[in-house]
Amino acid sequence: MPDTFCPIPWIFHAARSNGDMRVCCQANVTANRGVIRKPNGDAYNSGVDSIDSSRNAELMRNIRLNMINGTWSDECGRCRQEEDNGLPSRRIYENRAWDYSIDDAKSDTALDGSIDVNTVPVIYYDLRFGNFCNFKCRMCGPADSDSWYEDHISLTGNTTFSDTSGKVEIRRENGKLVASGFDWYKHEPFWQHLERNADKIQHVYLAGGEPMLIERHYSFLELCVQKDVAKDIVLEYNTNMSTMPRRVVDLWANFKKVRIGASVDGFGPMQEYQRSGARWDKTLRNLRLLDALPSNVSGWLAYTVTAYNVWHMVDFMTWKLKESNFSKINSTLNRPIITHHVAHFPRHLNIRVLPDEFKAEITDRFSEFVRWVRAEKFEEHVIQQAEDIARGVTSYMNSDSYHADRWHEFVDYTRKLDAVRRESLADVEPKFKDYI
């Protein structure tokens, strides 16, 4: 199998928070943000267009042909970069998860890269029902969370922000800041597609905004239960763990599997700093609730590695191994500590922006963590993951530098946002006093 192949372009549909259709979320770091466009340059949008209309767009046909021929597409650059540095890429994960091979792809794909959308239906959905969220994470922005609107205006002086379909205006209605384009999921043809295709759905990834706060997310779960297909569907979430209502727990009982990616980027002040709006005591309480749910529900700590928390990452992994006492969360053989990914965007928060001296200290700190894991005589699969994490993160961090181009941006952004939010990076992570 070519080391560029991934089943995603054949079996998958992804909608951004504004409804724009894209190849997958990993392609968000490219110039085009992975968006599937019409010949006139407009994005296919789930709130306007049929899902099937985008599946044989030029971009999708080209990506399929490149994968079959062993060529990397620009949209797949993040996976390529991660694999080159020993990090686990989504491409690798999806190949393990799906029984759809390169031979299947060749059989289903015409010479021009197109597929028959009826013969090869969408079985995997990535759905982001708008940007309604109670957090305003530092690596996000107004397109990801409406809680960002006020800070965006304070930080930039602008009442507009850029998204994949152009400029979006923030305006005040009835005393509340709002923006258009994030209610795409009210488009009835989209729901009609889901209803028609319900018996073919195998996996649904739900994010936001914050999915637990979005009412239409519950409508989707209820639809699956009513059509008696929930038992065949795997649900996967990216959730900030601020709430876990009884309503959703009861619905989850009907599904084949429920997998919870808990967006937790540290403990205590670090979690609250990077994911503004979080309260660590509440996050931990909900993690313990998750850990006690029935066997069809599993979970992991989805740790987003940024310049802010890469030093803290060792403390967090130590806490997970020694103090958390989780029985279910990150209990698998291949992910016994945490499930991490590097924030590639925005560039000024990427770990490659850090000074070389700081990178050297971080590299030593990860080496010390691996030595500690070995000395504590953890099981072999735990030691193996500790080594893989340390090698992957430090290799990626040290393989390039954004310091000359982006460090001033990191410092300026951090100082201004700290002032707006009345926070202090140096108080949360004193190590930065040595470098700022």
Q: Report percent pLDDT > 70 for the chain.
A: 100
Q: What does the alpha-carbon distance between residue 142 and residue 380 come to, in Å, rounded to a whole number?
A: 43
Confidence label for 1 from pLDDT (cuts 50, 70 and 90): low
Confidence label for 334 from pLDDT (cuts 50, 70 and 90): confident
Q: What does the alpha-carbon distance between residue 206 and residue 237 come to, in Å, rounded to a whole number?
A: 5
Q: What is the pLDDT of residue 2?
A: 65
Out of 55-69, 180-194, 338-352, 414-428, which region has the weakest mean confidence (pLDDT)?
180-194
Higher pLDDT, 205 or 87: 205
Confidence label for 85 from pLDDT (cuts 50, 70 and 90): confident
Higher pLDDT, 418 or 217: 418
Q: Using alpha carbons only, what angle is made at residue 101 by residues 100 and 102, rounded to the nearest 5 degrees?
A: 135
pLDDT digits (tens, 9 = 90+) for 117-172: 999 999 999 999 999 999 999 999 999 999 999 999 999 999 999 998 889 999 99
Helix (H) or strand (E) holding 301: strand 297-305
Look at residue 31 and tell me whether its pLDDT is greater than 90: no
DSSP 40-106: TSPBPBTTTS-GGGGTTSHHHHHHHHHHHTT---GGGHHHHHHHHTTPPPHHHHHHHH----HHHHH
pLDDT digits (tens, 9 = 90+) for 382-433: 999 999 999 999 999 999 999 999 999 999 999 999 999 999 999 999 999 9
Average pLDDT over residues 85-111: 92
Q: Flag whether the pTM goes above 0.85.
A: yes
CB 9 within 8 A of CB 63: yes
**Cα 178–chain centre separation:** 24
Instruction: For the chain, give every domain's residue range.
Output: 9-122, 256-434
Look at residue 179 and tell me whether its pLDDT is greater than 60: yes
Look at residue 337 and tell me whether its pLDDT is greater than 80: yes
Q: For all residues of the chain together, what is the average pLDDT? A: 95
Q: What is the pLDDT of residue 32?
A: 82
End-to-end CA distance of the chain: 47
pLDDT digits (tens, 9 = 90+) for 203-216: 999 998 899 998 88
- Say which residue the tokens 């390039």 belong to: 400
Q: What is the pLDDT of residue 29?
A: 74
CB-based contacts of 388: which residues, under 8 Å, 6+ apart? 86, 88
| Helix (DSSP H) and strand (DSSP E) numbers for the chain | 16, 11
DSSP 351-414: GGGS-HHHHHHHHHHHHHHHHHHHHTT--HHHHHHHHHHHHHHHHHHHT---HHHHHHHHHHHH
pLDDT digits (tens, 9 = 90+) for 260-312: 999 999 999 999 999 999 999 999 999 999 999 999 999 999 999 999 999 99
Confidence label for 313 from pLDDT (cuts 50, 70 and 90): very high
Q: What is the pLDDT of residue 246?
A: 95
Q: What is the pLDDT of residue 66?
A: 96
Q: What does the alpha-carbon distance between residue 130 and residue 138 come to, in Å, rounded to a whole number?
A: 19
Look at residue 80 and tell me whether its pLDDT is greater than 80: yes
